[in-house]
A and B are shown apart, each in its own frame.
Chain A
Amino acid sequence: MKKSILPILTVLAAIVVIWYAGAVWLNSQWTYDQAARAGVEVTFSEMVSDTLTQARPVLPAPHQVAKGLWDGIAGQKITSKRSLVYHAWITFSATMAGFGLGTIAGILLAVGIVHSRAMDMSVMPWAIASQTIPILAIAPMVIVVLASLGIKGMLPKAIIAAYLSFFPVLVGMVKGLRAPDAMQLDLLRTYNASDAQGFWKLRLPASMPYLFASLKVGIAAALVGTIVAELPAGATQGLGARLLSGSYYGQTIQIWAALFGAAILAALLVLVVGVVERITLKRKGMAQ
């Protein structure tokens, strides 16, 4: 791990340098236009300093995004509508509600599939085929239809998040519950263990590494689903609504700040699942 810190920092530094170059290049048009309109010549250094401080740049410079992010997180009261923490909290709560629902449904269906051959043969091909359907693209429609039924607020977003996190968990859990090999299953049979005992003592513990791998995918998918679900017009809360209002009013810094807020949230969620995974696997004696 230590060996890769320097390369990662190098790559990140390269990204920042490219970003600054891109900001100067993309924003220079505006600077030159303004100068031509005012009838003044701008030197190269004036042009560079102007491109990095515009109020509505085409591409905000990294320090502008960082400032927008800092203002959004620390510069406002948490309850303020301009606070990113407030919007992130809205998104986070819907994500977690959906993730919880999706995980429970996925685990239950996986248990059913592992114990019933008919269910396995009927449901699994459709579960896999449904992965190829761009379901996320119709998320805003689901929101609008549910809103016309009077269902508003967190629940519709949570349904979409649940749907997206459901399939990774289902597929991973089926794989995990089938992970014990024939020898271990035979051993339990020689102990005359019942199906239920086999499930609790062998299959469920053996599925944990698979479960956590798919939980990481599932929680990231749930967050994406929630953000997209916040896009339809009328939404005023959440990171997705911040993205949309930013794009309506040309507030590029706001868009980028919301985007990075979402990225930080995603990283934190995956990190938390990773920590829980490490603790659980350690207690089960499965840590690598």
Chain B
Amino acid sequence: MSAVGWGAIAFWLAAWGANSFLANRYPKAGWVKALVPTLFGITLLVLWQGLVRGLNVSPVILPAPTDIATAIGANIPLLWGDFSQTILKGALAGYLIGCGAAIVVAVLVDRSPFLQRGLLPVGNFVAALPIVGIAPILVMWFGFDWQSKAAVVVVMVFFPVLVNMVAGLAATDALSRDLMATWSASYPQALVKLRLPAALPFLFNGLKIATTLALIGAIVAEFFGSPTRGMGFRISTAVGQLDLPLVWAEITVAALAGSGFYGLIAMIEKAATFWHPSQRGK
């Protein structure tokens, strides 16, 4: 192994020592809570770079981070086209339709405890199934373009959101409901003023799970047929050409999009459920 590799390992040990020291010396400080994971992430990248260069790993197997960064820089229009095809059209449209439908269905079945008792176990069961397997069927029905990807996403996000929303609507305690009754609040009033706000923490839980599912659904569905753009299409064709830096560039975009999407929902959650104990402590 060359000097680059040993240098990376030395950097790793030094960073680990620094992290241990910081974590034990200032366990409560805010800047340490941000610095320690950042240092760890940088260390992983340095170690990756050093080992790939030091051991002369072929770029066909694992490209170095700098190769990936170069590939991202060289292919920005291509990556943006794939991003808008897969994420903005397929995943986002499906996410909005699927989550909207799940919320509406949850509110509709809310008046019938009978339907709830039936729907909740079935929904829980379906949420555990390998739903992504319906992708070939939906690609057959809706064609190759983004509509079929959105349809896969709708089915994938529907059940987790539905189950969480139904549980959320049932989450008010008897005392609050009695209070609404003593004010002779009508059903819609109680729904809007008490039960929908009380369901929000549960709903956001489902919405956050659904963000990752939406991206997975949109990308995997492209493996079953797609127009000549899109992240799943690019990944499968670039693998065929052994253009691994481009594949990793797409993966980086997918990872950033996934984290950004999740972060966006988490931010909305923070603004919408500021009153909930889980948000107040921060």
Contact = CB atoms under 8 A, between A and B. Distances in A.
A34 interface: no
A196 interface: no
A276 interface: no
Contacts of B255: 133-134
Nearest to A264: B129
Interface stretch (B35-43, B68-76, B77-85, B269-277): B35-43
A118 B19 contact: yes
Interface residues of B, number: 61
Contacts of B278: none
Given A117-B23, A136-B216, A244 B128 contact: no
Interface size class on chain A is 35 or more
Contacts of B121: 4, 8
Interface in B166-205: none
A133 B252 CA distance: 9
B36 to A, nearest CB: 4
A3 B137 contact: no
B36 A132 contact: no
B40 A252 contact: no
A7 B211 CA distance: 30
Given A4-B121, A131-B212, A267-B125, A11 B23 contact: no
Interface stretch (B3-11, B92-100, B112-120): B112-120
Interface of A: 3-4, 6-12, 15, 26, 58, 116-118, 120-126, 129, 131-134, 136-138, 140-141, 144-145, 148-149, 216, 220, 223-224, 227-228, 231-232, 239-240, 243-244, 246-247, 250, 252, 255-256, 258-259, 262-263, 266-267, 270
18 contacts: A4-B117, A7-B118, A7-B119, A9-B118, A11-B119, A120-B23, A121-B27, A126-B37, A132-B262, A138-B247, A145-B244, A148-B242, A220-B130, A224-B132, A239-B133, A244-B136, A259-B134, A262-B133
